[in-house]
Amino acid sequence: MKTQVAIIGAGPAGLLLGHVLRAEGIDCVVIERQTPDYVLGRIRAGVLEQGIVGMMARLGLDDRLKAEGLPHDGFNLADGERLIRIDVAALTGQQVVVYGQTEITRDLMDAAAARDLEVIYGADDVALHDIEGDAPFVTYVAHGKPQRIDARFIVGCDGFHGPSRQAIPASVARHFERVYPFGWLGILAEVPPCNHELIYANHERGFALASMRSATRSRYYIDVPLSERIEDWSDDRVWDELAIRLGPEAAARMTRGPSIEKSIAPLRSYVFEPMRHGSLLLCGDAAHIVPPTGAKGLNLAASDVHYAGEALVRWFRAGDGDSVADYSDKALARVWKSERFSWSLTKLMHRFPDDGPFERRMQLAELDYIASSVAAQTSIAENYVGLPV
């Protein structure tokens, strides 16, 4: 098989890029190791910046997003006693939208056939070849038979553990990483949220987050040591801990119910440079990971797709090689700013094992400053709603 662009990974980044390219008349094929049901079964973030909301609108794929998405004008920080509301709309003139990553993926999947976007599922043993030349190709196994796709460019949207990043020679690779000493224990339940906007809480017992997927489905998190086992956390124990950490105001409005999903996810900050090598471009988790504090993972992937799509369209339409050459620098400039915001919010809202009374006082002083400073709130709001692409 021959195509102009081979995309590795059919998560939201790969499918979004496929739609962007097909809308411009560029041939592409998306290759995915898992099944569609497996891809849709991943429980991920749900706070969307205007960047990805605008991309879905321009692609004509935002009908459900407009009908079911929950626009939010702000969010809250809590210090165990009070809620500090960050009025994003008043401070930036923009909103964020709560709409699950699973739903974005479903919308992109459902529209693939109409846009003549070919997606190959169940592709095993995916490997990238000749990425330093002008004729790279991808091999894989489907139904027990070896397959090959020749392309002009390959874009790796295959996540942290995929083969794309590993295809870049170690001699040019640079890794930047911070592994955090805790994970997020998340619970999903068919109950109304305790607040109409998100609450990020810093309590002396640890971090908590009150979030939602819809008006009737809530997503809550607490941080726990990496040594914790999910089997040791009954639903009642999770709800009890949430009630303490979120504070009395949120706890009074919290509706308890049985979990429909419960898991512990480790946290890390990670950036890989460069995001382009030869004819290979990286997007999303293949190149960077952010802790979920601040909800930047999916949104960063979407900004990568914006830059990659723009570069590839210019190359195929006008032979503009500079656009592809500049992709990594442009994408990384935004990546590092989002990494900074996610890292700083994680430091502010979590208790680290080595923290003592001094560090705790610093966190409380910072939260108190934020509560009284329009300038501090504006900075947070600008980053939360999404920096310009």
**Which residues have a catalytic role annotated?**
72, 200, 292, 296, 384
- Percent helix, strand, coil in the chain, to 5, is 40, 30, 35
Show the tokens assigned to 80.
């165990």
Sequence-distant (6+) residues with CB within 8 A of 222 are 184, 185, 206, 207, 208, 209, 238, 241, 242, 245
- Within a 10 A sphere around the Cβ of 193, how many other Cβ atoms? 25
How far is residue 320's CA from residue 354's CA, in Å, rounded to a whole number? 51
122 touches 108 (CB < 8 A)? no
Show the tokens assigned to 90.
């008043």
Sequence-distant (6+) residues with CB within 8 A of 296 are 290, 338, 341, 342
84 touches 76 (CB < 8 A)? yes
Tell me the one-letter amino acid at 385: V
Show the tokens assigned to 112.
């693939």
SS3 54: helix
End-to-end CA distance of the chain: 34
**Is residue 315 packed enough to be buried (19+ CB in 10 Å), middle (13-18) or exposed (0-12)?**
buried
- Kindly report the CA angle at 41 between 40 and 43, in degrees rounded to 5? 100
Nearest to 205 by CA among 232, 230, 241, 161: 241
DSSP state of 230: G
- Strand order of the sheet with strand 137-142? 124-129, 137-142, 145-150
- Kindly report the CA angle at 161 between 160 and 166, in degrees rounded to 5? 95
